[in-house]
DNA sequence: CATATCCATAAGATAAATCTATGGTTCGAT
DNA sequence: ATCGAACCATAGATTTATCTTATGGATATG
């Protein structure tokens, strides 16, 4: 089987125009070139497609059948290359994203919306889960991109870590809002909403308080910072939360913002990471999305550091 | 769009084996050859299909998609060439045959049956009609092959004429059966079954009688010779009929043949023809069938000339 | 640390496609 | 009839594409 697309294209053109010379003109080739293409095509198929009668070509019934196949193949090929071009231009494709709760409500939807605005053919799966689940999904290649708390190193996951500087959430009418930077001393003994148990972020916060000689009063222990802001709004506590959660607050609480955020010193981090399946290259689409995701994470991390 | 099947085959093999070197071995090419095929393929698609990581190839998700398309195209092409081979070997195709009554009952079915015995994929339409209808069907290209009485010359029909020597049908117990050749003199004044009105065959028969000085007694006028044999069996008449009709008699009247046939002199012909649409080449299948049809007509024409 | 395997590249060799030139045939119009 | 314009096929020259050999760099394996 040594056919070529050129032969098929030449054959199609000959069938359309009814003559080799005409087809040659349409294809910007010389007549002998097309003649040869047809001859070798017939030889490879083992059957004559045209009858050479009195110096002219006459289509044989077999040619009609072969034309249908030819059209189908060329059409498919054409469509396929077009699709690949679309994929190359990021106009088409599939993107499966799994993200942690802090980013799921506003940040990630906003990024996805911006990203796909000019890509009507791109399909997106966007799932919110706890970081541990996201790890599994990425490791098992069920998702292309994950945003989660930094997992333990694993051969199955490629990570790009971001140390998000946590900031202090407090009521705008709180006296502490006067300060441009909040320290453990400021919050000494005051009720806090924190992450639970042995979360690295909690440990780091406790360490900051301890080394500053401040009293650490964890009143609310939560799985993540999202619900904490309501508690702060109610005046029940303070919260040293990650900037993604803080940023979300501005995105949904557009008017009458009861809360404000202040940098916290010393820096306490929440370590998050962009996750990708290892041993499998990212699609062009993934890479492009990760670019804007990275940029947004860096921007959010800066947003509250004045 | 300048892709080639070679590139697709190479790509498929690389996807299967996971490496260029392996694929090259499978394809009986050198590794650089395959490498180049893949490179140019990527260039023409405008997108990388593999990631070159630490000296190895890693499939990108885009490659997976493209593979599906590639498989489909190659599969279709493969199937198509196979079918063309079948067609070339006359193992596949379509044959539309229209035949006149004299040949429809035994001769043509027998020929078709012989022809398609080893061609299970060949589809046949076999229709019996009066010669005038067959002409129309062939001229309008509704049928590929016609067997009919020779029509008036027409630009739309290609004809191959056979002058069938008519023979005399008579009862085996008739005294005339003793003779090896029947002449108009033998039948002078005796009742005949003939074709009707101004049919050339009737006119020719009448002329033979006249020039022999014999009396022509047309007792039964029929549209064709088939029913005549029954009348001869009943002893009601003689019939100078065409050899196809006579041959049919042997094919269905296997035992107790009440009739016999004798050559008639001078020769009186029934002119029949194989018809094909003009300005359209025959399929390989048509040509092949016409070959055996021609042979059979010649054989039948000899059969009664002892 | 040596060895084997992988891929890419370059240069030369081979094969394929294309073009130019030509001749034969048919058809239509002088 | 004869001429000219189409048509197609073939042959030889030329360009283009493809393959191979040779080589070097990178990475795994034992």
Tokens (6 digits) for A55: 């110096």
Closest to A177 measured CA to CA, from A262, A272, A300: A262
- Would you say the C-beta of A58 is within 7 Å of strand D? no
Closest nucleotide (CA of B28 to C1')? D19
Helices A5-17/A31-45 angle, 10° precision: 110
Tell me the C-alpha distance between A139 and A278, whole Å: 8
| B21 CB-to-strand D distance under 7 Å | no
Per-residue pLDDT, averaged over A143-151, amounts to: 94
- Predicted confidence (pLDDT) at residue A158 exceeds the cutoff of 70: yes
Look at residue B192 and tell me whether its pLDDT is greater than 70. Answer: yes
Burial annotation B52-80 (CB, 10 A radius, 16+ → b, else e):
eeeeebebbbbbebbbebbeebbeebeeb
Q: Measured between beta carbons, which residues in chain A are less than 8 angstroms from residue B279?
A: 58
Sign of CA dihedral A9, A15, A20, A22: negative
Of all residues in chain A, the one with the smallest CA distance to B69 is: A80
- What pLDDT score does B168 carry? 95
Distance from C-alpha of A108 to C-alpha of A119, rounded to nearest angstrom? 17
Position A120 pLDDT exceeds 80: yes
Q: Nearest CA of chain B to the CA of A131: how many Å?
A: 25
Is the CB atom of residue B36 positioned under 7 angstroms from any atom of strand D? yes
Q: Encode pLDDT of B66-111 as tens digits.
A: 999 999 999 999 999 999 998 888 888 889 999 999 898 899 999 9
Average pLDDT over residues B208-235: 91
Tell me whether residues B46 and A84 touch, CB distance under 8 A.
Answer: yes
- Please state whether beta strands A191-195 and B56-59 pair in parallel, antiparallel, or not at all (unpaired): unpaired
Window A:63-82, CB contacts with B under 8 Å: 65-66, 69-70, 72-73, 76-78, 80-81
* Nearest-nucleotide field for B50 (CA, C1'): C7
**Looking at domain A97-163+271-303, does it have CATH number 3.30.420.40?**
no
User: In A, which residues are within 8 Å of B46 by CB distance?
Assistant: 84-85, 88
Q: Which tens digit of pLDDT belongs to each residue from B41-70? A: 998 998 989 988 777 888 888 898 999 999
Nucleotides of D under 7 A from a protein CB: 6-12, 18-22, 25-28
- Beta partners for residue A263, in sequence order: A167
Would you place residue A1 in the very low, low, confident or very high pLDDT band (cuts 50, 70, 90)?
low
Q: pLDDT exceeding 70 applies to what percent of chain B?
A: 99
Q: How far apart are CA A225 and CA A168, in angstroms?
A: 11
pLDDT of residue A224: 85
Residue A252 tokens, joined: 């949904």
Q: B265-289, pLDDT tens digit by residue?
A: 899 999 999 999 887 788 889 999 9
CA angle A158, A160, A166 (to 5 degrees): 140
Q: Answer whether residue B223 shows pLDDT above 80.
A: yes
Mean pLDDT across A76-80: 93
Question: For residue B54, what are its two tokens?
Answer: 């630490």
Q: pTM of the full predicted structure?
A: 0.75
Residue A155 is predicted with a pLDDT of 76
A102 neighbors A245 (Cβ within 8 angstroms): yes
> Quick one: which of A170, A138, A167, A142 has its CA closest to A154?
A138
In this structure, the strands spanning B92-99 and B121-128 are parallel
Query: According to the model, what pLDDT value does residue B1 have?
Result: 59
Give span(s): CATH 1.10.10.10, chain A.
5-88
Task: Work out the mean pLDDT of chain A and round it to a whole number.
Answer: 90
Structure tokens at A90: 């990021």
pLDDT recorded at residue B254: 67
What is the CATH code for B5-88? Answer: 1.10.10.10
Distance CA B118, CA B137 (A): 28
Q: What is the pLDDT of residue B281?
A: 80
Q: Using CA atoms, how far apart are residues A170 and A237, in angstroms rounded to an integer?
A: 8
**Residue B197 has what pLDDT?**
82
Q: What is the pLDDT of residues A274-288, one digit of tens each?
A: 999 887 788 889 999
Contact residues for strand C with beta carbon within 7 Å: A 4, 6, 28-33, 36-37, 40, 54-56; B 19-22, 31-32, 35-36, 38-39, 50, 52, 55-57
DSSP-derived secondary structure letter, A177: G
What's the Å distance between residue A14 CA and nucleotide D6 C1'? 16
Identify the architecture of domain A167-267 in CATH.
3-Layer(aba) Sandwich (3.40)
CATH 3.40.190.10 residue spans of chain A = 97-163+271-303, 167-267
Residues 107-136 of B with CB under 8 A from A: none
> Can you tell me the mean pLDDT for A46-56?
84
* Residue B194: half-sphere exposure toward Cβ, Cα within 13 Å: 20
Nearest CA in chain A to B82: A45
pLDDT of residue A248: 87
Q: Is the CB of A39 under 7 A from strand D?
A: yes
């Amino acid at each position: 089987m040594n056919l070529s697309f050129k032969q098929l294209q030449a054959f199609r053109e000959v069938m359309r125009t009814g003559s080799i010379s005409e087809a040659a003109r349409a294809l910007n080739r010389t007549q002998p070139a097309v003649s040869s293409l047809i001859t070798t095509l017939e030889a490879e198929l083992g059957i004559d497609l045209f009858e050479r009668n009195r110096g002219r070509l006459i289509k044989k019934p077999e040619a009609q059948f072969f034309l249908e196949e030819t059209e189908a193949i060329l059409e498919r090929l054409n469509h396929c290359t077009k699709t690949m071009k679309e994929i190359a231009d990021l106009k088409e494709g599939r993107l499966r994203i799994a993200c942690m709760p802090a980013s799921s409500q506003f940040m990630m939807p906003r990024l996805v919306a911006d990203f796909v605005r000019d890509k009507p053919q791109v399909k997106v799966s966007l799932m919110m889960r706890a970081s541990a689940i996201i790890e599994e999904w990425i490791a098992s290649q069920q998702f292309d991109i994950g945003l989660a708390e930094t997992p333990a190193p694993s051969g199955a996951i490629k990570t790009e870590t971001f140390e998000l500087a946590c900031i202090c959430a407090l009521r705008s009418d709180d006296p502490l809002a006067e300060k441009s930077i909040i320290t453990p001393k400021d919050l000494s003994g005051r009720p806090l909403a924190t992450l639970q148990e042995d979360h690295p972020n909690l440990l780091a916060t406790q360490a900051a308080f301890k080394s500053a000689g401040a009293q650490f009063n964890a009143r609310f222990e939560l799985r993540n910072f999202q619900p904490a802001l309501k508690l702060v709004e109610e005046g029940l506590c303070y919260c040293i939360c990650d900037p993604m959660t803080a940023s979300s607050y501005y995105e949904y609480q557009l008017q009458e913002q009861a809360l404000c955020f202040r940098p916290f010193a010393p820096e306490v981090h929440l370590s998050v990471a962009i996750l990708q399946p290892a041993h499998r290259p990212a699609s062009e689409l993934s890479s492009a999305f990760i670019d804007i995701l990275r940029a947004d994470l860096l921007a959010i991390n800066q947003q509250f550091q004045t």
